Amino acid sequence: MELNYVDIIWTMIAASLVFFMQAGFAMVETGFTRAKNAGNIIMKNLMDFAIGSILFFIIGFGIMFGDSFMGLFGTSGFFNPDQMTNVAQFTALTPGVFIFFQTVFCATAATIVSGAMAERTKFLSYVIYSAVISLVIYPVVGHWIWGGGWLADLGFVDFAGSTVVHSIGGWASLVGAAILGPRIGKYNKDGSSNAIPGHSITLGALGVFILWFGWFGFNPGSTIAANNEIGHIAMTTNLAAAAGACVAMIITWLKYKKPDVGLTLNGALAGLVAITAGCQVVTMWGSIIIGIISGFLIVFGVEFIDKVCKIDDPVGATGVHLLNGVGGTLLVGLFANYAPGTEKAITGLFYGGGAKLLGIQAVGVLAVAAWTVCTTFILFKVIQKTVGLRVPAIEEIQGLDIHEHGMESYPDFVSKIQ
């Protein structure tokens, strides 16, 4: 394809917004956890991007977009992806712009797990995990869906990454948190759950606003072209987030007699995750319905994971990214209504398209679940048996900032806000 400089500018702006989402994740996770671990959270979010950038450039991009081996993984472009000759089949961008755009998405998938495993994971162990997901786990799924792999050939729809990015992070979060075990004091002997409040709802809210802002690069930017679909995608993205927040607020107000701030914030993120797969192919009203469903998924899903599954997820990452990544991907099979009556039409069950697309979406969800659960289970178990996955109890009690990094995030105020 011939280079288009307007597309290049638009894609670089969108990629920069997505990069800024790293700050959003850092603030959400820091605010929703305790002050004694704030520096550890910041380090994990920083190193996700730093390590992932290098490894994705060297190996991951080639696996994701290299010449396909039976639709399973790429086999070219290693070490010098900017020299790949087949990038032109995907985009009218320069190789550097396309690689940078894909890099920031890879970093998002990696950093989701940080929150679910917060406050009790060894930093070295987390760094190893982060490297492997950027090197292999994420790029393989990316190839299946975005790199011309077998799910792309099947007709699977995941426009901006409900499955490729968010459900990968969600499945990895579920596996990691389950193997790691709950924080000290989270569950009583009778199995009942104790709330462990984060130290700053203000930082958490700031993170949500940053993520919401960055999503206007995440979803509209996935056009990787300055075309007439950008406005529609921005609107479906915003409406789903708004609906998710409103519904989460209403449910918690009715359920707990007070509107819960943390769950309402996560409701907005849930709507954003859920709409990411279908933001291009659903109507604006369809996006509102998807946002409403996401509000139910986050409130009742977080409670189910915490109180029934007994999996301790300090920031609700599993509820936000797994349940809504999967749910949003499947809902494309119901609400898709893209370019009806044309050869590009993508229609779901509710718009006369039958159950075929829903079936394809389900196949994709199950395939990605199987790959991610199996690979991350092996990875976390190997880490657990070698360098160890969890810090000693005394380090968890006193805080990871002191023991893992030799510092305090709030040296003048720790006794008051810890």
Q: Pick from 327-341, 378-392, 396-410 the range whose average pLDDT is largest.
A: 378-392
In this prediction, residue 417 carries a pLDDT of: 43
Burial of 345 by CB count in 10 Å (0-12 exposed, 13-18 middle, 19+ buried)?
Answer: middle
pLDDT digits (tens, 9 = 90+) for 38-78: 999 999 999 999 999 999 999 999 999 988 899 999 998 88
Looking at the predicted structure, is the pLDDT value of residue 86 above 80?
A: no
Looking at the predicted structure, is the pLDDT value of residue 418 above 50?
A: no
Token couple for 69: 């081996």
Tell me the pLDDT band of 416, cut-offs 50, 70 and 90: very low
Looking at the predicted structure, is the pLDDT value of residue 83 above 60?
A: yes
pLDDT digits (tens, 9 = 90+) for 199-256: 999 999 999 999 999 999 999 999 999 999 999 999 999 999 999 999 999 999 999 9
Contact in structure between 142 and 86 (CB atoms under 8 Å):
no
Q: Is 409 left (phi over 0), alpha (psi -120 to 50) or beta?
A: alpha
Query: Average pLDDT in the 311-317 region?
Result: 92
In this prediction, residue 90 carries a pLDDT of: 56
In this prediction, residue 84 carries a pLDDT of: 64
Contact in structure between 376 and 176 (CB atoms under 8 Å):
yes
In this prediction, residue 409 carries a pLDDT of: 87
Looking at the predicted structure, is the pLDDT value of residue 81 above 90?
A: no
pLDDT digits (tens, 9 = 90+) for 337-388: 987 777 788 888 988 888 999 999 999 999 999 999 999 999 999 999 999 9
HSE (CB half, 13 Å, CA atoms) of 5?
0
Looking at the predicted structure, is the pLDDT value of residue 9 above 90?
A: yes
pLDDT digits (tens, 9 = 90+) for 249-289: 999 999 999 999 999 999 999 999 999 999 999 999 999 99
Query: Average pLDDT in the 18-43 region?
Result: 94
Strands (E), 34-187: 68-69, 73-74
In this prediction, residue 343 carries a pLDDT of: 77
Q: How far apart are CA 326 and CA 166, in angstroms?
A: 9
Q: Across all residues in the chain, what is the average pLDDT?
A: 92
